[in-house]
Amino acid sequence: MNIEGSVALVTGANRGLGKAFAEALIGAGAAKVYAGARDPAAITDPRLTPVSLDVTQSVSVAAAAERCGDATILINNAGILLGRPMLAAGSEQAMRQEMEVNVYGVLAMMRAFAPILARNGGGAIANMLSVVSWFTSPLNATYGASKRAALAVTDAARMELKAQGTQVIGIYAGFVDTDMAAGIDRPKTSPRQVAERTLEGIRAGVDHVLADERAEQVRHDTRFKPEAFAAGLQALWDGRAAGVGR
């Protein structure tokens, strides 16, 4: 679909990747960009339309759907990473919080906006997933569980919404240079690159956007070299996780 002239809603748009998505949409000619945030006062760009939105609260999601009834694009960007090993102390609580935002929040937004997109010609939904949708990293296993579940939600919605002409995209990236990855000493992708590749995917009508080299490499290795990939993850755990509580 065309970005120019579209009306988009971006969740978690007050900073980082969400802000990059909103700015990229404006730059690509979107007629209006709703910037969803728990604190709409944090949206200071005059080109954006602030919207109060907490994706974990049904009342907030319903209010956003009422406010943004002209939307043709939904970008589910809001996310949380607490990143616990699966058997570590506090892992259950961490995973519940991650699931609330990364899975149930995405589901709530898609259910609320699917009828709106249908009325407005079909449109597109883009869900920010992660390379850990495809594998389990032992050091942030609870986050990976939430992203793998979000992938299943995304794939199911794609099938259900095909008949109404709504494109459903999964976006995959490695570490993105935002606050979420601030403490990670690894190569990072710019938020702008992720946003631009996502818009290219919307224009092209694809189902999956590999937003950086890390996503391309992981996609290849998990499909064609799964045993070697799994061995590398085991070595990561064996080398770095000494002393983790169980």
CA–CA dist 235, 84 (Å, integer): 17
Label residue 243 by pLDDT band (50, 70, 90).
Answer: very low
pLDDT on residue 183: 67
- Catalytic residue numbers? 143
By DSSP bridging, strand 208-210 and strand 167-172 are parallel
Mean pLDDT over the full length of the chain: 94
CA–CA dist 20, 193 (Å, integer): 9
Q: Quick one: CATH architecture of 7-240?
A: 3-Layer(aba) Sandwich (3.40)
Q: Percentage of the chain with pLDDT > 90? A: 91
The stretch 9-21 carries a mean pLDDT of: 96
The stretch 211-237 carries a mean pLDDT of: 96
The torsion defined by the Cα of 183, 189, 232 and 219, in degrees rounded to 10, comes to 140
**Integer distance in angstroms from the first to the last C-alpha of the chain?**
49
pLDDT surpasses 80 at 182? no
The domain ranges of the chain are 7-240
Judged by DSSP in three states, 38 sits in: coil
pLDDT on residue 140: 93
CA–CA dist 28, 132 (Å, integer): 29
The stretch 149-173 carries a mean pLDDT of: 98
pLDDT on residue 70: 98
User: For residue 14, what are the contacts with CB-CB under 8 A and spacing of at least 6?
Assistant: 35, 37, 39, 42, 43
pLDDT on residue 245: 43
